[in-house]
Structure 1
Amino acid sequence: MNPAEHHRIAELMEVYFEGLHQADSRMLRRVFHPQLAYVCATEGDELYLDLEAYMTRIDGREPPVRRGDPRDEAILEIAFGSPRLARVTARMSMMGRSYLDYLTLVPHDGAWRIVTKAFTYLPRED
């Protein structure tokens, strides 16, 4: 895929990371597809949510920034399957956990949007 598409996804990821750090559902709605599938794959804590249920959780969360959590994240990979399909592998730490996210993106309303968020987490090792 061309560098411009790669850059667009990197910009989307910046909004994603900041939205999670701020626990800002309005910001996160800018990056998620309306038909989002949210999947926690951590053993013993499996969870499947749609966009509205996930945004309700975000709205009820104490923002990591208010907890004093520093932003700690990285994009590990951006891969394109076609001009209409991309995948991002990312990691981040917040709220005492280290997360590994597999995000699937598709175009929606003229921009890339995260349509699936599948992730796992472990207690953060300090």
Structure 2
Amino acid sequence: MTPAGLKQVGALMEAYFEGLHQADSALLRKVFHPRLAYVCATEGDELYLDLETYMARVDSREPPAKRGEARKEEILEIAFASGRLARVSARMTMMGRDFHDLLTLVRYGAEWRIVAKVFSYVPRKD
């Protein structure tokens, strides 16, 4: 992929991490595709949501930033399958859990958007 594509996906991921840290559904709506599939694959906590249901959950939670949690995240891999399809593997810690996200991105007009968020988590080990 082009350096511009990497830059765009990097900016999307920065907004994604910040939106989660701030529990900012308006910001998250700018990174998620309107037909988002949100899937929790943690054993015993399997969950399948659409965008509106997920945004309602985000709106009802106390932001990690407000609780004084530092942002802690890492992009493990960005892989482009084509000019319209990409995958991001990322890790982050928030709300007492370590998350591993597998994000599928598609082109939505001129922008990249997350169309599928599949993740699992484990309780944070301090």
Deviation at 1:67, TM superposition (A): 1.0
Counterpart in the other structure of 2:3: 3
Unaligned runs of 5+ in 1: none
Matched residue SS, 1:125: coil
What is the rounded CA distance, in whole Å, between the counterparts of 1:49 and 1:110 in structure 2? 26
Matched residue SS, 2:16: helix
Counterpart in the other structure of 2:43: 43
Counterpart in the other structure of 1:60: 60
Q: CA RMSD in A?
A: 0.5
Give the paired residue count: 126
Deviation at 1:101, TM superposition (A): 0.1
Counterpart in the other structure of 1:113: 113
Deviation at 1:10, TM superposition (A): 0.4
Corresponding letter in the other structure for 1:121: Y
Counterpart in the other structure of 2:124: 124
Unaligned runs of 5+ in 2: none
What is the rounded CA distance, in whole Å, between the counterparts of 1:61 and 1:46 in structure 2? 19
What is the rounded CA distance, in whole Å, between the counterparts of 2:50 and 2:41 in structure 1? 15
What is the rounded CA distance, in whole Å, between the counterparts of 1:18 and 1:81 in structure 2? 26
Counterpart in the other structure of 1:23: 23
Deviation at 1:61, TM superposition (A): 0.5
1:96-124 C-alpha deviation (Å, 9 max, x unpaired): 00000000000112100000000000001
What is the rounded CA distance, in whole Å, between the counterparts of 1:10 and 1:98 in structure 2? 21
TM-score, structure 1 as length reference: 0.99
What is the rounded CA distance, in whole Å, between the counterparts of 1:109 and 1:124 in structure 2? 38
User: Percent identity over the alignment?
Assistant: 67
What is the rounded CA distance, in whole Å, between the counterparts of 2:107 and 2:38 in structure 1? 18
Runs of 4+ in 1 over 3 A off after TM superposition: none
TM-score, structure 2 as length reference: 0.99
